[in-house]
Structure 1
Amino acid sequence: MDIRRLRYFLQVAEFGSLNATAEQVNLSQPSLSRQIRLLEEELGVSLFTRRRDGMVLSRDGLELRTRILGPLRQLEMALDEIKSHSSQIGGSVVFGMPSSAIDALASPLARRASAFPNMAVHIVEGSAGQMLKSLERGEIDIALLNAPPTDTKWRCEIEDLFVEELVLAGSADAGLSIDNPVSVEDLAQLPLVLPSPPNHPPPIRALVEILSGLTDGKCNFPAYADSFQLTKSYVEAGIGYSVFPHSAVSHEAERGALTYAPISGHRLSRHMVLGTYPGGQYPRALERVKEMIKAEIVELAERNPSHVQLLF
């Protein structure tokens, strides 16, 4: 039996409304409705009568509330007391991360998390849009996001992390060099491999607008690639150039698979933030994961002081 569902049941009973309860517990209304439905399926009874003006406890619902109200409160107090005495941090935290940050941050974060055997950190990969939806649904607890979400319907809590410079990357034979910046005007003449227009993140959207102005809308895009790894493979094969965060290509550059150069004329960068689902089940573990993420970001900035600017 999931204790959270019992808590949600009591709160819906108190407020008499899924919408009002969802606001109170920072959960979407569909997610809350699903939790109540799962509880009813587990018990084999209907706990509420659903009406246009709200939710009313059924006979079985009234009996359940009477039976669990006191014991559940005592259980919660006992758990809180034990947690306050514990020196170990436990629980499971699901961390969403964009593909462009996997190489730089995933393995180092996993190594840090291994120092806490009672705590599991599950890293999942996805786009900013996918991760925002997963945060809203409570499927992930924390996510590294490209730029702060501007849509006010998202309830996740946002913390600024860093700004990172974007660089031009080409194949090993392209001859790009960190010591020879490429101007935006020269960039406009190169074949660029970018995501398809509906999937442009904010920095790429800004770049395409600049290039369109310079070329009268006749930019050279030999191929679109909506997968980050596919874009890299096209660039390595010499099909075209692309624009990446510096940390996303530094490993390939070190082993000679890619070359890269700074972009002059317009400073192109990405703004990274940390989004947190406010209803996480293991708050102490979540805070520790935040600390580990920030520690890795600090090390990233120390290794690349000219490319990464901390915001915390």
Structure 2
Amino acid sequence: MRADVDLRKLRYFLAVAEHLHFGRAAEELHIAQPVLSRQIRALEEELGVQLFVRNQRSTALTAAGRQLQVDSAPLLSEAAALLRRVTAAAAGPASFRVGFMPGLIVTAEVRALRAAHPELDIEVLRTGWGDQTTVVLDGRADVSYVRLPVDQRGLALEPLLEEPRVLVMAADHRLAGKESVSITDLADEHLLQDPDAVPEWRDIASELRTGRRTAAPPASTVEEKLEHVATGRGIAVLPLSTATFYTRPDVAHSPISDIAPNRVSLAWAVASRSPLVREYVALAHQLHASLHRG
């Protein structure tokens, strides 16, 4: 049976799925709990599945509910981005937003676009590992400089540059001051990152091989990660530009001689038809190619 899914009901569903509590979800949505319950029941009837198992003490997602939770967030983001693109197309290009990761300098490209379009309001948006692609998928940015690897679904990518990755450690670390290190030097170190972000370390790490790895302390920003590094809780592997951007006296960095470089690309939404995006991508590619030749 065909079901036309109401995006408002999906937003209601995601709130309940996040809190697993109808009362708290209703408070977040600023609606009455009975109204929320009716909307969720209506969604279940439209889809022909049960999304939650409820009793007097708890609320849990069913298998269908867990799948809908995974699929709903990108659907709502794309709907929001669609609305932004349609509104922008109707009004004409008045602004342009560029997302960038820490350590990447976008001044030359922004100045070139501003010179070509002095009437255009150009803004920059700092991103992180968690939202570097989300900002273009949900329409907050027209283009975004991303550090690979990323989930490429819904994105167009233009490769721009490669840069070395370095070991970042406390200033009093045993390897501090070395001109370069090998990945094998790090086998017994504690990495303050997802091991999959540094597969070269993951494949030789003693703590993974012996099952002694402890969870890395929470760090949503580079600044937080460097605080943990400075206090000796572990090491990090970062692109060179990020490490030099956050220079501080209690943290040192050294090149890693036998590790793949970090690749940087420009990303934009496949659905975008903005000629300004194509113009910006061409400018960025031209400027980076000129810099590399220089």
Compute the TM-score of the two structures, normalised by the length of structure 2: 0.56
Aligned to 2:104, the other structure's residue is in SS state helix
Determine if contact 1:110/1:121 at 8 Å carries over to the other structure. Answer: yes
* 1:31 partner letter: A
* 2:277 match: 286
* 1:309 match: none
Counterpart check, 1:267 vs 2:268: no
Counterpart check, 1:184 vs 2:186: no
Given the alignment, which residue of 97, 101, 104 partners 2:100? 97
* 1:208 match: 202
Aligned to 2:198, the other structure's residue is in SS state helix
Q: Render the CA deviation track for 1:18-52: whole Å, top value 9, x for unaligned.
A: xxxxxxxxxx796289749x99xxxxxxxxxxxxx
* 1:53 match: none
1:108 Cα offset (Å)? 5.2
Aligned to 1:163, the other structure's residue is in SS state strand
- Percent identity, aligned pairs only? 19
Q: Render the CA deviation track for 1:234-271: whole Å, top value 9, x for unaligned.
A: 22344432111011112445x7553211224x413322
* 1:104 partner letter: L
Given the alignment, which residue of 197, 218, 230 partners 2:224? 230
Determine if contact 2:169/2:176 at 8 Å carries over to the other structure. Answer: yes
1:157 Cα offset (Å)? 1.5
Given the alignment, which residue of 240, 265, 268 partners 1:276? 268
Aligned to 1:105, the other structure's residue is in SS state coil
* 2:160 partner letter: L
* 1:242 match: 236
* 2:169 match: 170
Determine if contact 2:177/2:252 at 8 Å carries over to the other structure. Answer: yes
Aligned residues: 215
Separation in structure 1 between the aligned mates of residue 265 and residue 135 of structure 2, nearest angstrom: 16
Counterpart check, 1:118 vs 2:119: yes
Aligned to 1:157, the other structure's residue is in SS state strand
Given the alignment, which residue of 31, 47, 60 partners 2:79? 31
1:295 Cα offset (Å)? 5.2
Determine if contact 2:169/2:253 at 8 Å carries over to the other structure. Answer: yes
Change over 3 Å in CA distance of 1:270–1:210 after alignment to 2 = farther
Change over 3 Å in CA distance of 1:186–1:230 after alignment to 2 = same
1:188 Cα offset (Å)? 2.1
Higher relative contact order (CA 8 A, sep 6+): 1
Determine if contact 1:188/1:219 at 8 Å carries over to the other structure. Answer: no
Change over 3 Å in CA distance of 1:302–1:249 after alignment to 2 = farther
1:299 Cα offset (Å)? 7.2
Separation in structure 2 between the aligned mates of residue 259 and residue 130 of structure 1, nearest angstrom: 27
* 1:163 partner letter: E
Determine if contact 2:104/2:242 at 8 Å carries over to the other structure. Answer: yes
Separation in structure 2 between the aligned mates of residue 126 and residue 97 of structure 1, nearest angstrom: 6
* 1:192 partner letter: L
1:215 Cα offset (Å)? 4.7
Compute the TM-score of the two structures, normalised by the length of structure 1: 0.53
* 1:248 partner letter: T
Separation in structure 2 between the aligned mates of residue 299 and residue 192 of structure 1, nearest angstrom: 36
